[in-house]
Amino acid sequence: MSVTRGARDANGSVGMDAVGELAVGTQVPDFDLLDHAGSRRRLSELVGGDPTVLHFYRGWWCPKEQAFFRRLLALQEDAEVAYSRMVSVSVDPPEVNAAFRAGLGARWTFLSDSNRHVQTQLRLRETTDTLNDPYVPAVVVISPDLRIHAAYNGYWYWGRPAHVELVRHLRDISRGLRPDWVPPAP
Amino acid sequence: MSRCWLALVEGLPKGADAAAGAFTTDGHSAGTLAAWRRPAKPVRDALRVDERLIDPDGSAGWISLVLPPPGVRLAFDDPAVQQARRLVLLHPFPAGVSTLLRDDSHFEGAITVARSPAEKQRLRDDPFARIFPSRMLSIEAGILGAVSPPTGPTIERYGSDNPWPWDRFD
């Protein structure tokens, strides 16, 4: 089986609607993992009442992840004033996540799934990398009830969402969340 | 969020929901750090604080208490305040932190709590101390809890009259 074919089988159709167990319209399991400071955090508590970009990545060592993080860093500048949250998950241990996060200048939460329980639950193990057993790169945009609004399979780099796509999903969720999206008439 | 007030007072605070002695780094008394959960301001110098930071069962710790000089006020949306909040999110998060305020538009200080020796060391580089002077104080048990860091990267307040990092509209 070719690498491409394997990724398609593992992640569903290459597109915007499913990757592993993450499919549009379903809910992400409310897992808890250690954050970059070593504190246990539950996903629902991290998401709170805001739209959230939930990002699964291979590890600090992957140049594609380094490139994609630059895209997320650009989004960070908008998200910090837009009541939107970001969470990145990898199999790296908390101290590695802390160092990587600091080096990037990221100001959002990094979670560590070093025992790969969540990775297994979500069927997001990248089987073609038997050295690192990392996550299949994936991005989902979720609402506060952890429902998936959009899902991106980033196994091939162009499968990942562009800045404008993430903005569009965050806007769509925000519009549904905020009863005063249309400002009161004078 | 219910209203919670914090003040460093002389003597025994009247009607406080939590209080503990405060001491300077050389061991001299600095008064009593007190907190009240009530809508109205309890004493003249009280400032609103993120209520999650107040815990009558909380252990002892150190604080960086940043307060403006008398008569000085700074807009909460001032870039200096924004940058301080960014730095708090960027650096290892302390045991707890809250901005302090009286109204919905001004930054009137911050309190940062440390418990471990490493956190205490980082208090010396409190980002809010770049805005207004900071006092390092030792606080006895009985008032300060611990607050999980906000998810990030949001630095906006949820409702303009709430202290940061309160992270809900409710």
pLDDT, tens only, A35-45: 999 999 999 99
**With contact defined as beta carbons under 8 Å apart, do B106 and B47 qualify?**
no
Does A35 map to a domain?
yes
Q: Closest to A109 (Cβ–Cβ): which among B92, B152, B169?
A: B152
Q: What percent of chain A has pLDDT over 70?
A: 91
- Supply the pLDDT for residue B159: 87
Does A18 map to a domain?
yes
Residue-level pLDDT, tens digit, chain B, 170 residues? 679 999 999 988 999 999 999 999 999 999 999 999 999 999 999 999 999 999 999 999 999 999 999 989 899 999 999 999 999 999 999 999 999 999 999 999 999 999 999 999 999 999 999 999 999 999 999 999 999 999 999 999 998 889 999 999 87
Peptide bond into B68 cis (omega under 30): no
Q: Which residue intervals of chain B are DSSP H helices?
A: 79-90, 117-123
3-state secondary structure of B152: coil
Reply yes or no on whether the pLDDT at A11 is more than 60: no
Reply yes or no on whether the pLDDT at A129 is more than 50: yes
Does B111 map to a domain?
yes
More confident residue, A3 or A138: A138
Based on the structure, what is the number of domains in chain A? 1
- Supply the pLDDT for residue A17: 76
Does B149 map to a domain?
no
Does A184 map to a domain?
no
Does A182 map to a domain?
no
For strands B110-114 and B61-66, give the pairing.
antiparallel
Q: Closest to A79 (Cβ–Cβ): which among B86, B154, B170?
A: B154
Q: What is the pTM of this model?
A: 0.92
How far lies A39's CA from each of A60, A63, A95, A109, in Å?
A: 20, 28, 11, 11
Of B136, B127, B137, B140, whose CA–CA distance to B99 is shortest? Answer: B127
Does A185 map to a domain?
no
Does B159 map to a domain?
no
- Domain span at A26: 3-176
Does A166 map to a domain?
yes
What is the chain A residue with the closest CA to B77?
Answer: A81
What is the chain A residue with the closest CA to B92?
Answer: A37
Give the CA count within 13 Å in the CB-facing half-sphere of B80. 12
B114-122's contacts with Cβ under 8 Å and 24+ in sequence apart are B114/B61, B114/B62, B114/B63, B114/B64, B115/B59, B115/B61, B115/B62, B115/B146, B118/B92, B119/B62, B119/B92, B119/B94, B119/B95, B120/B62, B122/B91, B122/B92, B122/B94
Angle between the N-to-C axes of helices A163-177 and A63-79, in degrees from 0 to 180, rounded to the nearest 10: 40
- Contacts with B93 from chain A: Cβ below 8 Å: 37
**Residues of chain A contacting B, Cβ within 8 Å:** 35, 37, 39, 41, 45-50, 52, 76, 79-87, 98, 102, 105-109
Q: Closest to B90 (Cβ–Cβ): which among A83, A85, A105?
A: A105
- Supply the pLDDT for residue B161: 83
**With contact defined as beta carbons under 8 Å apart, do A105 and A85 qualify?**
no
- Supply the pLDDT for residue B19: 98
Token pair of B90, please? 């960027």
pLDDT tens-digit profile of A82-97? 999 999 999 999 999 9
Evaluated on CA atoms B34, B35, B36, B39, the torsion sign reads: positive
Inter-chain contacts counted by CB atoms under 8 A, chains A and B: 62
Of B70, B76, B64, whose CA–CA distance to B103 is shortest? Answer: B76
Does B86 map to a domain?
yes
Does B147 map to a domain?
no
Does B160 map to a domain?
no
Interchain contact, B168 vs A87, CB within 8 Å: no
Does B162 map to a domain?
no
Does B50 map to a domain?
yes
* DSSP designation for A78: H
Based on the structure, what is the number of domains in chain B? 1
Reply yes or no on whether the pLDDT at A9 is more than 70: no
Does A152 map to a domain?
yes
Question: What is the spatial distance between Cα B50 and Cα A161, in angstroms, rounded to a whole number?
Answer: 36
Of A181, A64, A61, whose CA–CA distance to A131 is shortest? Answer: A61
Question: What is the spatial distance between Cα A106 and Cα A122, in angstroms, rounded to a whole number?
Answer: 25
Does A87 map to a domain?
yes
* DSSP designation for A135: B
Cβ neighbours, 10 Å, residue B74: 15
Peptide bond into B92 cis (omega under 30): no
3-state secondary structure of B154: coil
Interchain contact, A85 vs B169, CB within 8 Å: no
Distinct helix (H) and strand (E) counts, chain B: 2, 10
3-state secondary structure of B30: strand
CATH of the domain at A98: 3.40.30.10
SS3 of B38-57 = CCCCCCCCCEECCHHHECCC
3-state secondary structure of A64: helix
